[in-house]
Structure formats: structure tokens, C-alpha cells
Structure 1
């Protein structure tokens, strides 16, 4: 699709103030020192210029986000994934979102040295996701299988095995075993792992010889846990410090990409089946040692979670300074409002053998019994009536409209948190001491 300029082709015009405000920001950025070297007065000056530009963008998008989205997607006949959508918006409506050159410049810097252009992507995506029409279409676009998965699917169908950099997928007796294999960093996720996870989830869902999936962490080479299985340490804070965790490529793609697919399945051609446009399957989690942050978020969407008796669950959002994905959306529904506030706001850990763990783990077994527990759960969940009943439970527990509205606000709040001074200081200290 050739993207045309919204201002020239639609019944409205992009306000001149957006371009002028964006140009003022660009002038200041060019004239001022790097962000970490600015004086308090210089920081206040650039912050005020950003605020003017962002106010203009937000006002425009409050009125016209749906029309802009329709223009970018040819009246929703084209499905653009998140990176394609923001790139198209930059081409079609200059000043509305950062340019490719601005983002490339940002990616060359550590988090502390960035200007924060991703906040403008957050403003744009919040407006798109707020729209019941545009937001639903974008979520559907992200449910479609990735080109990489479609390319690798035939090989997996033949061999039953796929080795990616950070993920291993194996099919055994109708069960897809998805193992996270970042041995050096305790399965702490970065953008490459999110890419691998979405590829593996797509393939497991698309393979007709798979009826259920099992998600587990592999054995570690990290000195502290050498030889032990670990489920996940959450976001890779070293990568965040280095500036390699992006809003679109990681924080949003993870939530409305592979995790969303674990919940709702993969979207195939809507005309291909009158029964359902998605292929969904039940998922089992086997938790060794801990599920921290993003790992804990995963457990909230799985259909059965078996945990080793020495494992724990933790969402250390306050310590890290960011929003724990859709954990705020789902944890209260599982544990209740008091427990979710204790975990998210105060950093409480829940161990597999304590009473509240029954709301997070379906069973706690001795570590050596975890393989058998996961196999039993997978066998139970392979029954023919599981998928339709799972679908109906999801309609009641995780309504798509509620999720869309949550993700709309998440898009902006997480963008703001990425550039919070407290976050930058915390990840800098972590990167300095982590080995």
C-alpha cells in the first residue's frame, strides 16, 4: 500500500501547530547538549517545548485518530502491525509521531541519553486503541501469524522441532513443548526473545498436530543458578539500561502479540471458517525457581500452572519503576484487589506453598515431580470440549473491549515510565552491579 499524506487526502487538515511545535522541538534538540548533559534550565526549556507539541498532538488525535487510522490502513482493508503502523503514520502525517531518523538516533543511545520520542508514539497509539473501531482492528492485526512463523511452519510440521536463539519448540505426542532458553540471563526477555516467543507460539497454534502447549524455562548457565531450571526473571534490565527495550518492539508487541495470542489464539482468514476466525489452544505452565515480572504476567494467561514447591511469583513493578504489562489488568481478577496491590505496589512475593498461591498456581509439587504434573495437566486439557469451554471462560473473564481500553492507557503510561528519572537511575544501578 502506498501511504498518502493525510492532510492532502481527507476532509480535515492536520493543524499547522503540530508541525510548528515539532519543528521547535527539533531546533532545541539540535542546539542543546545531549539529554544527560543539560542544565536544569535547559531541561525545563525542552520539556516545555515537548509539552506544547504533545498537547497539540493529543488534541488532534482526540478528534481524528479513527480517520487517520482508516487512511493508513485503506479503510481497514490492510492489516498493519505496530512497527508498520507507526512508520506509516510518520510518512503520512509529519510531526504526529517521530520519524525513522529520530528513532534510529535514539536507538544508538543508552536510555539515559534518549530524547523520549517514544512518548509521542504512545500518544498516537493510545488514541488509536481508544477507538472501538481502529483499536479492535489493530488488535486483530497483531493476532495474525507473523511472516517468520509462516516461513518456518512447514519445517516444524515435518521435523517437530524448532531451535531459535532464545526458544526451543518440540512436538511430542500432540503436545508443543515451548522452552525458554536464555541460559545466561535467567530468561530475562529482550526484543529478540519476544520475536522468538511470538514465532514459536504462532507455530504451535497453527500446527494441526498440536492440541496443547507447555511453557517452561530451561536449565541455566548463570553462575547463581547453574544447572537449575528457571522460568523467567522478567524484563532484561541490562537491555533497558542500554536503550534496547523499545515501546513498540518490546513493551507493546509483547502484550498484544504473543501474550495476546496465548489468550485468544492466532487469527486466520476470517472467511476461512464460520465457526471462529481464530485457532486457539490450551496452555500449561511449569514453573521452576521463580516467575518474576514478565514471567509472572505469563502465568496469568495460562490454563493450568504447576509450580515447584520452592518457586515463587513476583511483580516488582515499584522497584523497577515501570508498569508490569497487563499484570494490573489480570492480577486483581485472579487474586483480588488487596492481594494485587500488595504484589504490584509493595513488591510482595507469593511462594508456591503459601495459602494465596492457590489463586496463582493450580498445584505445587516437589521439583522432581514437575515434569509429571505438567504431563498430567496437558493430557487433561487435550479433551475435545476444552477449547470451546476455554473460549467461553475468556469471554467472561478477559473481554476484548476491556483489554483494548486497558492497552490504550498502557501505551502512554508505559512510554512515560520508560523515560522517568527514577527508572533510568534504577536500571543504571542494576546494570552496574549485574554480572
Structure 2
């Protein structure tokens, strides 16, 4: 055993949790030796197959518990942990290939209930032991840095990937996540009373027919973390529910970083410090972000059954409340910040600002950027941005494919007001809903998300991502003053 502290010796993904493994259901290595007895082939009976999976997973957990914690494992022990994990993952995938619809029906009372994905995952852990990590396992994982976890969120990715692959269950799940988040109705009442709503990381203000959503993660260049994701979904819900509002405006607030202190910044993307610390949740952030507030920006909000839908302004043909959105980019929009621009209706950028999706550098998938970017830029430029890390500056011709207006910093407020006036017309919401229907049918979204859930879960525990997160963290203390580092990198 090493002389590391207890924190450093936390449970974590074995050093090879994804070594040699692929990204999809059929890509995981077949366990050979050193593992549990292979899971019994499915019988087709849900109860029998669920019990067999539970026994298989319990035996794997018993053997894993005999191994040292992740940072203290030898190479041989890490390989053994990999075999145990991947054997269980193969069994889970086989079970879900046969029973995904039945599992979803059981968790939603025959689709008469619409639980959000966190509730679905929790229900699956209780109803089908061994299928996804339970509350105790997740609580243990949360005490560890990312590199010291067992990688149990990969099992959540397999679970949601299977549900989303089902045309019926996946569509139902997507629609459920377009409902107002818990607590949004209460926040709506507060906003209507004050025309202002202050959340931990977001400020929402009504100015005439516009609602201005301002990111306030000032300490990290408005990078996204679990808290900001939750606050943004609440804010987007309130904007869509308030029938006094016709247009939403997204903008980054002023930040504290020494290089940009006192300046507005749109977003530095995912907070890599939080990722390294193990504080970026797969369910609440990596998947919940795409199914939650980002999809609501694109598709609007589905009200609860029987809910009064107000005046009817801004409803699409399927009953969703949809409104146009304006983005105002100060300084830069990196990663998740740039992803947001792909679902907005009018983007205004400051002269000298830049956009980037540094997927190759971070090692993870840039959300739905791979799905949405190509239709704006074409395939060749999209590959340059995503695969090669090309930045698009506002003075480049290519910026015209992503930005509607480029104005001096002092003209951003006026440009935003003008955009709000242009988009406040009564026919705009209906037409933007039809554009979304044509550009991104739900079936296309569902198929992408099914693959994304598995790939992203595995990528966040892959050795290259863990190594890059460590290196970002190690240099973050000197990044603010180090010459030559890209803007925004210190907080990421």
C-alpha cells in the first residue's frame, strides 16, 4: 500500500476501466478469466432475468470489495477490476437489449408517470438491483476525485442509452424531460411578482417583452457546473412559462478572473476543475443538460397534463410553449457556451470575440455539437472545429455561419434590444418550432442521444481525459499569470 492520504486512496475507476474498451454496447471487451461466472443467457422473463443479473452483479461487487482502492491497485489488480466491471456491463447490456421497454414501463407505471432521469436512475437501482449504481455506491463515488472512482456512471450511461434506443420509451423520456423542472412553478410566481429572480448562479430579469438570463459563475469564467445547469433549467422554465415574455436573451455576466476581471464573458464551457474533482454528474449535468435546459431552448416546454397554458401565444403544433432566443457573446463562447449558440435564433458577438469546441483537447464529446454544428457550417468546417480545435474569431468569414451580428462592445446592448424587437412578432415562435422540426426531428435527436449517453459516460473515465484533467488542475494555480495560455483556460 502507498503512503497516500485517505482522500487520495478513494475508490475510482480502475486504471484500465476503459482500457481497450469501446464506446458502444457491443464494444466492451469480453471478460476472460479472473472474473465471475458468465451471466446466464436471458430467458425472456423479466423477473427471472432481473434476478440473474442481480446475482451476477452482487458476486462481482463481492470480488471488487476484496481489491485495494483504485490508486493502490497493481496493474494485475486493475486488470481484474476491468474484467469484473466489463463482465457486469455486458450482462446489463444483454438484459436491457431484451427488457428495456419493460423496465421503463415498470419505472413509469406503464408510462402514466413522467419521472425525470435522476428519479428513473434511482428507481432502477431499487427495482432492479445491479442494473445501475445504488444510492450508497453513488455517495461513495462522490467523495472521490474522478480518477479514483470505480466509474459507476458508465453503468448509468448504458442504462439510458438502452432506454433512448427504444423508439417508444426514448420518445417518452425526451418528452418527460421537456416538462417543467421541480420548483419552477414556485419560481415563476416570484418572477411575476418582482420581474427579477436571483438564483445562485443565474440572474433573471424582465425588460418589457424580453427576459434576460445572465450567467453568474464569476469565479470560473461562467463555466458550467452542476449548480449552473440546475439554475439555467429553472430560468429557462420560468421564461417559457411566463406569458408576458416573448423573447429570451442569454448573456454572460462579469467575472473575477484576473485576466478578465470586471469584463463580461459568455462561457468557458465545462468546468474542468470540477470534472477533475469528480463533481460533474453524468445524470444531472452531462445527460441532464442535453435533455433539460438545452433541449427546452430548442424545442420549448411541455406543460403538465391539464395545466392552464395561458394565452396560447408561442405554442407549437404539438402543444409545447416555444419562444425565440437571442445570445449575446462577450469575450468568448467555449465548449458548452458555443453549443448553446447552435440552438439560438439570433447570435450577437462582440468584436474580437471567438468561438470554439475544444473536444479534441478535453477528450469528451461536445454535447450535441456534433449533431448540430454541421448543418450550420458544413461538414468540413465542423471537423476542423471539433476534431482539430479550430477557433472561429468574429473577424473571419467563417463567423458569418455562426454569428448574425458582430458589433463593438459598447453596441451589444442596443443590438440585443433590436433583436428582441425583431423576434417578438406573433408568428416567430410558431415558425421557429417548425424550423426545429425540419432540422432536428425527435427521432434524429433520440438516436443521437442513445449513442451519446454511452460514449460520453465512457469518455469521462477514459485515461486520456483523466490525465488531461489532472494537468489542467496542476497548472491552474499559475494559469492566470502564465504567458501564452489561451483565454479562459485558467478556469477550465
TM-score (norm 1): 0.96
| Cα separation, 2, equivalents of 1:13 and 1:303 | 50
- The answer to whether 1:431 aligns with 2:473 is yes
Q: Give 3-state SS (helix, strand or coil) of 1:334's partner.
A: helix
CA contact (8 A) 2:46 2:99 kept: no
CA contact (8 A) 2:301 2:322 kept: yes
What's the offset of the Cα at 1:265?
A: 0.8
| Cα separation, 1, equivalents of 2:52 and 2:337 | 43
Q: Which residue of 1 aligns with 2:154?
A: 119
- The answer to whether 1:229 aligns with 2:264 is yes
CA contact (8 A) 1:310 1:367 kept: no
| Cα separation, 1, equivalents of 2:69 and 2:382 | 39
Q: Which residue of 2 aligns with 1:158?
A: 193
Q: Which residue of 2 aligns with 1:253?
A: 288
Q: Which residue of 2 aligns with 1:134?
A: 169
Q: How does 1:149-298 map to 2 (within 5 A)?
A: 149-271=184-306, 276-298=318-340
2:463 aligned residue (416, 421, 430)? 421
| Cα separation, 1, equivalents of 2:218 and 2:153 | 30
CA contact (8 A) 1:123 1:411 kept: yes
- The answer to whether 1:311 aligns with 2:346 is no
Q: Which residue of 1 aligns with 2:373?
A: 331
Deviation per CA, 1:183-216, whole angstroms, max 9, x where unpaired?
Answer: 1110011000001000000001101110001100
Q: Which residue of 2 aligns with 1:346?
A: 388
| Cα separation, 1, equivalents of 2:362 and 2:59 | 33
| Cα separation, 2, equivalents of 1:413 and 1:159 | 43
Deviation per CA, 1:12-46, whole angstroms, max 9, x where unpaired?
Answer: 53255422331233123211111122111111111
Q: Give 3-state SS (helix, strand or coil) of 1:224's partner.
A: coil
| Cα separation, 1, equivalents of 2:282 and 2:46 | 31
| Cα separation, 2, equivalents of 1:15 and 1:83 | 21
Q: Which residue of 2 aligns with 1:361?
A: 403
What's the offset of the Cα at 1:388?
A: 1.0
| Cα separation, 1, equivalents of 2:183 and 2:470 | 34
What's the offset of the Cα at 1:271?
A: 5.0
| Cα separation, 2, equivalents of 1:24 and 1:71 | 25
Higher relative contact order, chain-length normalized (CA < 8 Å, sep 6+): 2
CA contact (8 A) 2:46 2:102 kept: no
1:77 aligned residue (106, 112, 132)? 112
Q: Give 3-state SS (helix, strand or coil) of 2:68's partner.
A: coil
Q: Give 3-state SS (helix, strand or coil) of 1:225's partner.
A: coil
Deviation per CA, 1:351-397, whole angstroms, max 9, x where unpaired?
Answer: 11201111110111111111111111111000111011111111111
Deviation per CA, 1:56-88, whole angstroms, max 9, x where unpaired?
Answer: 110110111011100110110000101100000
- The answer to whether 1:62 aligns with 2:97 is yes
| Cα separation, 2, equivalents of 1:20 and 1:270 | 40
| Cα separation, 1, equivalents of 2:212 and 2:356 | 24
Matched pairs, number: 427
Q: How does 1:39-58 map to 2 (within 5 A)?
A: 39-58=74-93
Q: Give 3-state SS (helix, strand or coil) of 1:79's partner.
A: coil
Q: Which residue of 2 aligns with 1:386?
A: 428
1:300 aligned residue (342, 351, 356)? 342
| Cα separation, 2, equivalents of 1:53 and 1:205 | 42
What's the offset of the Cα at 1:323?
A: 0.5
Relative distance call for 1:15 and 1:276 in structure 2 (3 A) is: closer
* Structure 2 unaligned spans of 5+: 1-41, 310-314, 478-492
CA contact (8 A) 1:270 1:277 kept: no
| Cα separation, 1, equivalents of 2:50 and 2:285 | 31
* Structure 1 unaligned spans of 5+: 1-6
Q: Give 3-state SS (helix, strand or coil) of 1:184's partner.
A: helix
Q: Which residue of 2 aligns with 1:3?
A: none
Q: Give 3-state SS (helix, strand or coil) of 2:458's partner.
A: helix
| Cα separation, 2, equivalents of 1:15 and 1:150 | 38
TM-score (norm 2): 0.85
1:110 aligned residue (145, 156, 178)? 145
Cα RMSD, aligned residues only: 1.5
Query: Greater helix share, 1 or 2?
Result: 1
Relative distance call for 1:11 and 1:104 in structure 2 (3 A) is: closer
What's the offset of the Cα at 1:11?
A: 5.7
1:404 aligned residue (446, 450, 461)? 446
